[in-house]
Amino acid sequence: MFMRLAALACCTLLCIPALAAEPERRPGYGVVESVAPLPPAESASAGASVPSSDSRTGLYLVRVRMSDGSVQIREVKKRRFTVGDRVLLTNAGDVVPD
């Protein structure tokens, strides 16, 4: 019984850093530092000639320096922002011009 509890404790401790690594997404104001296109996912089939209808097509990663100095990265569907734009990050994950 003790060995099972010890094994469970070890597994729990090993999983905690993975959970802590989840980026914190908080709402607030910031300035856009970069906008980069998100590369499409690779096709699973070798030699495929028909492009897949991937949901990541046309997405951009927007890196925002928040007022408190932290950095948040969000995915957006349209490139509406340029470096230096002041934006609002919402609770829903949207990036809105200020």
Domain count within the chain: 1
Answer whether 28's CB lies under 8 Å from 90's CB.
Answer: no
- CATH code of 71's domain: 2.40.50.140
- Domain holding 14, by residue range, is 2-39+56-97
Q: How far is it, in rounded angstroms, from Cα 77 to Cα 57?
A: 9
Better pLDDT: 17 or 83: 83
Q: 9-35, pLDDT tens digit by residue?
A: 554 444 444 444 456 889 999 999 999
Residue 45 lies in a domain: no
Residue 71 lies in a domain: yes
pLDDT at 75 over 60: yes
Give just the sign of the alpha carbon dihedral 21, 58, 65, 97: negative
pTM: 0.63
Residue 44 lies in a domain: no
Q: 86-96, pLDDT tens digit by residue?
A: 999 999 989 99
